[in-house]
């Protein structure tokens, strides 16, 4: 079990229900590969670490199972699932389909305030990439895309995409630290913003399509580096 879950920033907010918070903490740890495939999640140990009964722990693990992030073996164990390539491809298809329409909409009526937010996000990403702070970089990358969903007035679709993107996000967590990847993401983001600002929907879609193809197009490299973490 990864004791980083016990760090102060991970303590529970007693004003909120416990099970959703446990789910959020464990999901984050799985997505960022702090909890790697094959890790056994003991309900009793988690209950001790979070200072809870086993009921909210069970509920959180069941929700992780619904997202396909863990395998639950009744009366035996719960194990972090290997990165499922088929599920990652489906999440990629969903995200690409939605975001191609988003950038088309945003580029059709460029909004200077949005452009400023996206440029500020890119600058933050640049600092994080240069400092090789990859976990924070991935979070800033997600914020960049979230800004576009919000600007297109479809924030609920962002939440839906996130729910379905667990395996794709895990691939990206393995890919981003590979030399050159973070700065390639930066270049893609710059191209997307440039096309939106220029009011060029076709160019924005081309830039977005190239950007989202990055991780899956390097699947062989990721597999060679982490052969025991992936399954087809």
Query: pLDDT category, 215, cuts 50, 70, 90?
Result: confident
In the chain, how many domains are there? 2
pLDDT at 10: 52
Q: Are residues 22 and 92 in the same domain?
A: no
Residue ending a domain, among 65, 81, 97, is 81
pLDDT at 100: 98
pTM: 0.86
Could you tell me the two tokens for 94?
């969903």
Residue ranges making up the domain that contains 19: 3-81
Residue 219 pLDDT more than 50?
yes
pLDDT per residue over 14-52, tens digit each? 777 889 999 999 999 999 999 999 999 999 999 999 889
DSSP letter for each residue of 68-134 = TSEEEETTTEEEEPPEEHHHHHHHHHHHHHHHHHHHHHHHHS--HHHHHHHHHHHHHHHHHHHTT-H
CB-based contacts of 43, cutoff 8 Å, min separation 6? 54, 57, 58, 61, 78
Average pLDDT over residues 69-83: 91
Q: Are residues 13 and 74 in the same domain?
A: yes
């Amino acid at each position: 079990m990864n004791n980083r879950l016990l760090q102060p920033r991970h303590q529970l907010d007693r004003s909120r229900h416990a099970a959703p918070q446990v789910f959020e903490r464990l999901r984050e740890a799985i997505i960022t590969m702090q909890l790697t495939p094959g890790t056994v999640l003991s309900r009793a140990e988690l209950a001790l670490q979070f200072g809870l009964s086993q009921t909210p722990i069970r509920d959180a693990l069941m929700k992780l199972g619904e997202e396909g992030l863990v395998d639950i073996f009744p009366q035996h164990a719960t194990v972090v699932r290997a990165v499922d390539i088929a599920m990652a491809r489906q999440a990629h298809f969903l995200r690409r389909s939605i975001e191609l329409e988003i950038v088309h909409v945003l580029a059709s009526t460029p909004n200077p305030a949005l452009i400023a937010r996206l440029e500020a996000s890119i600058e933050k990403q640049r600092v994080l990439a240069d400092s090789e702070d990859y976990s924070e970089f991935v979070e800033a990358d997600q914020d960049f895309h979230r800004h576009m969903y919000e600007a297109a007035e479809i924030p609920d679709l962002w939440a839906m995409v996130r729910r379905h993107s667990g395996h794709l996000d895990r691939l990206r967590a393995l890919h981003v630290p590979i030399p050159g990847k973070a700065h390639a993401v930066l270049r893609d983001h710059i191209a997307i913003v440039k096309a939106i600002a220029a009011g060029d929907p076709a160019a924005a879609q081309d830039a977005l399509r190239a950007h989202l193809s990055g991780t899956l197009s390097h699947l062989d490299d990721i597999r060679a580096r982490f052969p025991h973490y992936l399954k087809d």
